[in-house]
Structure 1
Amino acid sequence: MAQTDLTALVTGGTSGIGRAVVAALAAKGCTVITTSRDPERLAPEQRVSGVRYLRLDLSDPDGPDALAEELGEEIGAVDVLINNAGESQSGPFEELPSAAIDRLFQTNVFGPVRLSQLVLPGMRRRGHGRIIMVGSMLASFPLAHRSSYAASKAALAGFATAARQELSPFGVWISVVEPGSIATGIGLRRTKYLDEGSVYATDVSTMLEHLDRNERDGIAPETVAATIVDAVISPRPRELYAVGSRAPLPFLLKRILPRGLMSKIVAAQHGLRR
């Protein structure tokens, strides 16, 4: 996969990490197709030259199949799939609405899984392909009031890790990229749930204040994009790439420290005492 004359499909490519990945792959000569829930909102000057922008709403269970139908035979020519689009969600475990959890898992897990299933036959027949799941370090280091989001990213990583063992004999490699704190402005778009008069209100406010500050001070999305491109072009990409939040140090500490102590450290970094 060292060649760059590849056809890449990048979800959520109009902002943040996705936009940086689109620009990086296009600069390397890839044919890039990217998606957004509303691509028409993007002015011509905001688009990356030569990139094709299509509509995809991953919260719609029929979204991936509708995109595949629109692409027709092109869906079988995809060499690289970057499952980047997703929803960030916060709220106390006790108060998360069931409908919100359902939507989150449809967007962050079931949609990317279905899209991967749609591109895999072509990759397997050609004997090469790359699928990158953009996860989150919260999958490896869960945080209070981010239970639904952490669980969705952990589920995505579980699918990817198991499927990697099935597909690598065919030259198709699946990797997970877990970003830490990234300065993408995602905190402004995060869906937040908190009941009026909630007993968790102070805790949630403290956590979000620290989380948003960490994200504002985080690394640039272009740094994550460079890691993703490395996984795309590597002859044998790793199972997991972590970038940001002083990675790989947290993963080293996770291996040597008791689980309970590691959870306390993660909580303390977000102003929570446990």
Structure 2
Amino acid sequence: MTTTQPVALVTGASSGIGRAAALALVEAGFEVVGTGRKTSQVTPLDGVTFLDLDVTSDASVTALVQQVTDRFGRIDVLVNNAGIGSTGAAEESSLAQDRRVFDINVFGLIRMTKAVLPHMRAQGRGRIINTSSIYGFIPQPYMAVYVASKHAVEGYSESLDHEVREHGVRILLVEPGATNTAFEGNIVQPDRPLPVYAEQRHIADRLVAEAVRGGDAPAVVAKAIVAAATDPTPKLRYTAGPLAGRLSVLRRIAPARTFDKQIRKFNKLAG
């Protein structure tokens, strides 16, 4: 089977940003495949085909991409949205926990990218849109591993974009700020908490919860994803929401010492 409609594949589409992006891409004229670990439990969306996927499994990724190309004959856009959060002082998490975050946020994204790139190169066109974060370009204490994973996504994406652009493929970044989703419920808590960090960890957790509750609607991020998927001349980076836009500008123009002080002030850190 083939389709004349452009096909978008969205990972982590069962809820939050991924679900909003899948719906927005349908409205923009795409045939959409949304993935999740257990899509049989997902409420259906008109125009979205849900398929199971584990981005940490080479076999699952390979089978999913083959299933999509067999069914639709093409993949025009990949939205790498599946991800997981982590909080706590960097010293408090085991290396196994840190690997889990990177295996989903970084290597899961890389697995998906490697799987779809041959199809996009053969088509002579395609866009891979990677959901990053404001934490892809700023620090955040007590979220060091999550922040490191998003910094890795930024560096991988920008470098890869130079490699594949001549083949008609673009690698683009969407950078949301705090978004009102179930992110809190998908955060890895440290498995070896230390009393010395307890008070500041609780402050950091409260700040994250407040930011999520007051954050942008997932539709705001979905709008940026659709723009990245459809702009005739796409930008490398799309900030999503006013906070992300302001922070992106401040990171570029504010003196390093001033920015450092603001990070510490916001996070109620001494010194």
TM range (shorter): over 0.9
Q: What's 1:8 paired with?
A: 8
1:233 deviates by 0.3
Amino acid at match of 2:21: V
Work out whether residues 93 and 193 of structure 2, in 8 Å CA contact, stay in contact via their aligned partners in 1: no
Secondary structure at the aligned position of 2:129 is classed as strand
Q: What's 1:230 paired with?
A: 227
Amino acid at match of 2:79: I
Residues 236-272 of structure 1: CA distance to partner in whole angstroms, max 9, x if unpaired?
A: 2111111235232222222222324313312322333
| d(CA) in 2 for partners of 1:197, 1:126 | 52
Residue 97 to residue 60, structure 1, CA distance change in 2 (3 Å) = farther
Secondary structure at the aligned position of 2:195 is classed as coil
| d(CA) in 2 for partners of 1:257, 1:130 | 32
Residues 202-221 of structure 1: CA distance to partner in whole angstroms, max 9, x if unpaired?
A: 00100111111011101110
Q: What's 2:40 paired with?
A: 40
- Which of 195, 201, 208 is matched with 1:211 structurally? 208
Residue 200 to residue 226, structure 1, CA distance change in 2 (3 Å) = same
1:168 deviates by 1.3
1:77 deviates by 1.2
Q: What's 2:241 paired with?
A: 244
Q: What's 1:65 paired with?
A: 62
1:143 deviates by 0.7
Work out whether residues 68 and 74 of structure 2, in 8 Å CA contact, stay in contact via their aligned partners in 1: no
- Which of 139, 154, 166 is matched with 1:142 structurally? 139
* Corresponding position: 1:258 with 2:255: yes
| d(CA) in 1 for partners of 2:77, 2:116 | 9
Q: What's 1:82 paired with?
A: 79
- Which of 113, 118, 121 is matched with 2:118 structurally? 121
1:121 deviates by 1.5
Amino acid at match of 1:158: G
Structure 1: give runs of 5+ residues left out of the alignment. Answer: none
* Corresponding position: 1:269 with 2:269: no
- The alignment yields a C-alpha RMSD, in angstroms, of 1.9
Structure 2: give runs of 5+ residues left out of the alignment. Answer: none
Q: What's 2:171 paired with?
A: 174
| d(CA) in 2 for partners of 1:231, 1:69 | 24
- Which of 150, 153, 175 is matched with 1:153 structurally? 150
| d(CA) in 1 for partners of 2:179, 2:267 | 15
Work out whether residues 180 and 244 of structure 1, in 8 Å CA contact, stay in contact via their aligned partners in 2: yes
Work out whether residues 26 and 48 of structure 2, in 8 Å CA contact, stay in contact via their aligned partners in 1: yes
Secondary structure at the aligned position of 1:200 is classed as helix
Secondary structure at the aligned position of 1:132 is classed as strand
Residue 103 to residue 75, structure 1, CA distance change in 2 (3 Å) = farther
| d(CA) in 1 for partners of 2:93, 2:73 | 38
1:153 deviates by 0.9
Work out whether residues 89 and 141 of structure 2, in 8 Å CA contact, stay in contact via their aligned partners in 1: yes
| d(CA) in 2 for partners of 1:142, 1:89 | 14
| d(CA) in 2 for partners of 1:218, 1:79 | 30
Q: Which moved more, 1:126-135 or 1:53-62?
A: 53-62
| d(CA) in 2 for partners of 1:273, 1:91 | 17
Work out whether residues 136 and 180 of structure 1, in 8 Å CA contact, stay in contact via their aligned partners in 2: yes
Identical counterparts, % of pairs: 35
| d(CA) in 1 for partners of 2:132, 2:228 | 14
* Corresponding position: 1:185 with 2:182: yes
Q: TM (normalized to structure 2)?
A: 0.92
1:72 deviates by 5.4
1:92 deviates by 0.9
Secondary structure at the aligned position of 2:40 is classed as helix
